[in-house]
Amino acid sequence: MAEAVLFQARGLAKSFGAVRVVQGLDFDVRAGEVLGVLGPNGAGKTTLFNLVSGDVAPDAGQMTFDGRPLGQEPPFQRCRLGIGRTYQVPRPYGGMTVFENLLVAALFGGRQPEAAAQARCARILDECGLAARANQLAGGLPLLDRKRLELARALASGPRLLLLDEIAGGLTDEESKQLVALVRQIRDGGVTVVWIEHVLHALMAVADRLMVLNFGQKIAEGAPAEVMASAEVQRVYMGLEVQA
Ligand SMILES: Nc1ncnc2c1ncn2[C@@H]1O[C@H](COP(=O)(O)OP(=O)(O)OP(=O)(O)O)[C@@H](O)[C@H]1O
């Protein structure tokens, strides 16, 4: 695995009112890895993504992407820089078809001519298991397909760093295996991935490293097996009592 750092955060902090949701967080995302992010509900995981994607401004801290300092760029500019993301609650353009949703993302973020974008979108739809839905209105899709579309749209924008926020919930075992294979394929295609996921077996199947948050602070980071074996992680995240 490459060791170059693609994204770096130092001293990242965000409060909502009196609640410190992200507290002095330092972390690196290495180019070419899948970094899994775990933590109990309310640990600050989605807020962290919101800070990286520019949906929320930090109170303190610095971030760099590919060596370039990030400032006040709104989400669309970070998308054009190469930071793509999914949202926990899918946000398709309901009045457009599935294919059109992808094309908008590809043309917006992808910096490529329309013919190339169309071919790319067709390939991504296929990879994401949505080819049969291409001409359906996105607003009428069942939840699982809305989630697939969320991932497909993020891919269509041509990210170098892809932030996935809980995309495995509600999948069958077979669907979950397909999703893991797809994430692996995305990484092998050169896209760096940060994946927040409560479905542990899916995350463990593909993550190169894990980072665990609790109350907005990093409590563990490293090789997946080591992180999951840590008593602190088991106590906080798994809710297990660990024998002293
Ligand atoms: N815009 C906001 N305004 C006020 N409070 C917020 C806002 N966004 C998040 N919070 C609060 O920040 C805390 C962390 O939320 P966040 O969604 O980042 O956690 P999470 O780790 O992603 O949780 P989950 O696993 O449930 O998705 C929660 O207490 C949440 O209610």
The pTM (predicted TM-score) of the whole model is 0.92
The predicted pLDDT at position 215 comes to: 93
Instruction: Answer yes or no: is the C-beta of 39 below 6 A from any ligand 1 atom.
Output: yes
- Verify that 112 and 202 share a domain, yes or no: no
- Verify that 176 and 244 share a domain, yes or no: yes
Using one digit for the tens of pLDDT, what is the confidence trace for 202-227?
999 999 999 999 999 999 999 999 99
The predicted pLDDT at position 243 comes to: 45
ipTM of predicted assembly, 2 dp: 0.94
Instruction: Answer yes or no: is the C-beta of 42 below 6 A from any ligand 1 atom.
Output: yes
| Domain carrying residue 18 | 1-82+159-207+217-244
Mutate to test the pocket of ligand 1, among 21, 51, 52, 59 (most ligand atoms within 8 A of CB): 21
Domain boundary pick from 158, 178, 194: 158
Asked if pLDDT for residue 142 goes beyond 90, the answer is: no
Mutate to test the pocket of ligand 1, among 12, 14, 15, 16 (most ligand atoms within 8 A of CB): 16
Instruction: Return the HEC string of the chain.
Output: CCCCEEEEEEEEEEEECCEEEEEEEEEEEECCCEEEEECCCCCCHHHHHHHHHCCCCCCEEEEEECCEECCCCCHHHHHHHCEEECCCCCCCCCCCEHHHHHHHHHHHHCCCCHHHHHHHHHHHHHHCCCHHHCCCEHHHCCHHHHHHHHHHHHHHCCCCEEEEECCCCCCCHHHHHHHHHHHHHHHHCCCEEEEECCCHHHHHHHCCEEEEEECCEEEEEECHHHHHHCHHHHHHCCCCCCCC
* Total tally of structural domains belonging to the chain: 2
With respect to residue 87, please indicate whether it lies within any of the assigned structural domains.
no
